[in-house]
Structure 1
Amino acid sequence: KQGPEMRRVQEKIADRLRVPYCLITHDMTEAAFYACAYEFAINAVNSPWCQLFDEDDAKVMEYASDLREFWKRGYGHDINSKSSCILFHDLFSRLDKAANEIKSGQQVTEAVTVQVGHAETLLPLLTLLGFFKDSEALTSTNYATQTERSFRTSHMLPYAANLVLVLYDCGGSDLRLQPLLNEKPVAFSGLTGQQASMPLYQDVKEHYRELL
């Protein structure tokens, strides 16, 4: 809220409205931006609220949103991701069951599991899995160096965001796990090589052994 980029956005809004700078607060700026964003996303309407912002302003507002989510549900605090431990264990418990049935030659009894939640559920899980982790933490003072950041919630958590884990039986006890976020393949952090996007299931479990 106190970064120089955010203050400049507020000043530009005040200039456009021809009012004193002191009358435009961060909360007012955020409310106007979301009014613009929601009307555009839901109704495809370029509302009058959008006239208060230019592209540079929108990037600053996007960063402000990412900054909040980073510290509230992302990598900002270690405890944030721990809220997804139960979901994480349930996920791997189901995968283990399917893997054991495949190895024993049985028919998989639970071919598909669908669990529905909110972005507030998915983001801590993505964090626990190590996806979209940058080398530098997001702060209110390093906006200029974060333009190429991986942690970008508008890409990670759009409307109808979804995470899919597909267990493949490639024959000969060759079980592989492919993660897809919003129908696009992503790679497990820390697993490299040609099979990074579809590593051996056992390698994935070994990678997360401290959590399992």
Structure 2
Amino acid sequence: MRFFDRCARLVKEVDANSSAVVEVDRFKTGPEMRRVLEKMEDKLNATHINVTYDMAETAFFLCAYEFAINNTVSPWCQLFDEEDAKVMEYVGDLTEYWKRGHGHDINFKSSCILFHDVFRRLDKAASQILSGQQDSEPLTSGNYATQTKRTFRTSHMLPYMANLVLVLYDCGDGELRVQPLLNEKTVAFPGLNGNQSAMPLFADVKERYKELLQGCDFETECRHRQLD
């Protein structure tokens, strides 16, 4: 399933390219993060050391993992208040946005091989019967305050035991509809609007994503291009 590890262009232009995540680096040194680090220093009475982002990230992960796994409030959690946690969460979302999300086109084009496989399976099921979430503006280091209601929130999209299901329905008279479920909750296909967006016609879904289905080739998209 880690198809992106085999995508040379993604590895070269995003994973191994520090400029691809420059927004993340800017936010880590920005005013919101500085306030988090300063508050941690005050709570620790750290007069002789400067708390770094890496230290804060480690403490935040320890807090989050102990709560998620053991359902206990770790002492590490005492270093953060609710606003601090939101800032730390935003760093994670910002990282995933630019490394695996909408930040660069190769991020989603590298998954076209999986996309094609899903629709081949749906087509096969359809023949037997008959015979992702994007915000209005990108996440950047400078718009944290306006992204509190962002759709791209990895803690909501990818909790433990995350799953994505596509259900193909035969509604009679040759009418096939597809319903996407993310973590057992209905969601709409991006780009499809109206009352039927949560369960659109299968033909409409294929038409909406025709460019990816017909024009996105894994080997072509993932071939590394020399940058000027």
TM-score of the superposition, structure 1-length normalised?
0.86
The equivalent residue for 1:73 is: 100
Which one-letter code corresponds to 2:155 in the other structure? S
The one of 129, 143, 160 aligned to 1:102:
129
Distance 2:101 2:32 in 1: 22
The equivalent residue for 2:165 is: 164
Deviations along 1:64-100, one digit per CA (max 9) or x if unpaired, are 1100000010011111112211111000000001111
1:65-144 equivalent positions in 2, closer than 5 A: 65-104=92-131, 126=132, 132-144=133-145
Distance 2:183 2:48 in 1: 41
CA apart distance, 1:141: 1.3
CA apart distance, 1:22: 5.3
Fraction of identical pairs, as percent: 71
The equivalent residue for 2:19 is: none
The equivalent residue for 1:119 is: none
Preserved contact between residue 70 and residue 138 of structure 1 (Cα < 8 Å): yes
Deviations along 1:171-200, one digit per CA (max 9) or x if unpaired, are 100100000000000001121111110000
Regions of 4+ moved over 6 Å: none
Is residue 6 from structure 1 mapped to residue 33 from structure 2 by the alignment?
Answer: yes
Deviations along 1:117-157, one digit per CA (max 9) or x if unpaired, are xxxxxxxxx2xxxxx20111111111101111110000000
Distance 1:21 1:36 in 2: 24
Which one-letter code corresponds to 1:102 in the other structure? I
Distance 1:61 1:192 in 2: 33
Q: SS where residue 166 of structure 2 aligns?
A: strand
CA apart distance, 1:20: 3.6
TM-score of the superposition, structure 2-length normalised?
0.80
CA apart distance, 1:21: 8.2
State the structure with bigger RCO (CA 8 A, min sep 6), 1 or 2.
2
Greater fraction helix: 2
1:167-182 equivalent positions in 2, closer than 5 A: 167-182=168-183
Q: CA RMSD in A?
A: 1.0
1:31-70 equivalent positions in 2, closer than 5 A: 31-70=58-97
Is residue 186 from structure 1 mapped to residue 187 from structure 2 by the alignment?
Answer: yes
Distance 1:101 1:14 in 2: 63
Preserved contact between residue 74 and residue 81 of structure 1 (Cα < 8 Å): yes
Preserved contact between residue 2 and residue 140 of structure 1 (Cα < 8 Å): no
Which one-letter code corresponds to 1:28 in the other structure? M
Distance 1:20 1:78 in 2: 45
